[in-house]
Structure formats: structure tokens, C-alpha cells
């Protein structure tokens, strides 16, 4: 019974993380499209076209990947922080997820066109995504909507 409750809490954490990162993705996409794409052509991938938004496969794929990454972050974050109050664990989880995604974008950008600055912006976005997810997950735990993982050590 306890194992099933833990699995349900992990599912809730994953769903919360998924929505948080998906929201962050939408927010940064709008910012890229409205502000940054005029300075960096590589950021202008025409993801945010109001008319074609629903049928834009590239946008849907990116949003799906962001949502799935958020789900994995939410589940993992719950297990990483447990019932601890250690801020280093929380920040470490954000940077682990954000930097893995962000550094791969920087490497890809360097290999494509030897221009690193737009990809540094994308890497910073990745860290922002998971930082916002952390804040939302911590808020859900604080409000009692989500229970932290309790260690089962004897």
C-alpha cells in the first residue's frame, strides 16, 4: 500500500513538473519570437505563429519534449530532495537538468555555425525552465499538494 502511495506522489510530481516546464517553454518561446529573434536568426524558427500554432509539427515536438523533460524532472526532483531542507540538493537538481540540456545545445550550435551566443541564451532558458519547475514543485510541497519522498532507511 505504501509503495502505491509513493508511486502516486511521484506521478503527481511528474505531472506538476511537466506542466511547469511546458509553461516555461511557452513563455520563453514567446519571448524569443517577440524580442530575441530580431537579434539572432537562429532563434527565429517560426514556432510561434498564432495561425499555424496547432499544426506546427516542430513546435508540437519541442513542446512535447519539454513536457516530458519536466515530467522526468518532477519525479527525479522529488526523490533527490526527499524531506531534506538542503538548498544545494535543490539547486543541484535544477543545474543538472538545465546544464545537460543547455550544454548539448551549445555544442550543437558551435558545430553548426561557430556562433555560440544564441545557444548560450537557449542554455540559460533550459536552466530557467527547471528553476521555475523547482519553485512550483516546492510550492506544491509547502501547500501539502505533494508529499516529499520519505526515506525508508531502517
154 in any annotated domain: no
More confident residue, 153 or 17: 17
148 in any annotated domain: no
Biggest CA pair distance of the chain: 58
Q: Among 94, 78, 66, which residue's Cα sits nearest to residue 145?
A: 78
150 in any annotated domain: no
pLDDT at 152 over 90: no
* Cell 525508508, located at residue: 152
Q: Over the stretch 35-93, which tens digit does the pLDDT of each residue have? A: 766 666 555 555 445 455 555 777 788 889 999 999 999 999 998 887 777 788 889 99
Domains identified in the chain, total number: 1
pLDDT at 142 over 50: yes
44 in any annotated domain: yes
At 111, which helix (H) or strand (E)?
helix 87-113
Mean pLDDT of 103-131: 85
115 in any annotated domain: yes
Out of 10-19, 97-106, 119-128, give the one with best mean pLDDT. Answer: 10-19
Structural domain including 36 reads 2-142
Measured CA distances, 133 to 23, 26, 107, 127 (Å)? 9, 13, 25, 10
Q: What is the pLDDT of residue 35?
A: 73
98 in any annotated domain: yes
Amino acid at each position: 500500500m505504501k509503495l502505491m502511495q509513493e508511486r502516486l506522489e511521484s506521478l503527481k510530481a511528474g505531472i506538476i513538473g511537466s506542466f511547469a516546464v511546458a509553461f516555461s517553454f511557452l513563455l520563453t518561446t514567446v519571448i524569443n519570437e517577440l524580442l530575441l529573434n530580431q537579434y539572432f536568426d537562429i532563434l527565429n524558427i517560426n514556432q510561434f505563429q498564432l495561425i499555424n500554432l496547432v499544426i506546427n509539427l516542430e513546435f508540437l515536438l519541442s513542446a512535447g519534449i519539454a513536457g516530458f523533460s519536466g515530467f522526468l524532472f518532477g519525479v527525479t526532483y522529488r526523490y533527490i530532495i526527499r524531506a531534506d531542507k538542503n538548498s544545494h540538493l535543490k539547486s543541484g537538481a535544477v543545474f543538472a537538468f538545465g546544464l545537460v540540456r543547455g550544454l548539448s545545445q551549445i555544442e550543437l550550435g558551435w558545430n553548426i555555425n561557430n556562433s555560440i551566443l544564441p545557444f548560450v541564451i537557449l542554455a540559460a532558458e533550459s536552466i530557467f525552465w527547471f528553476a521555475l519547475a523547482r519553485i512550483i514543485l516546492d510550492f506544491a510541497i509547502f501547500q501539502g499538494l505533494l508529499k516529499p519522498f520519505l526515506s525508508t532507511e531502517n
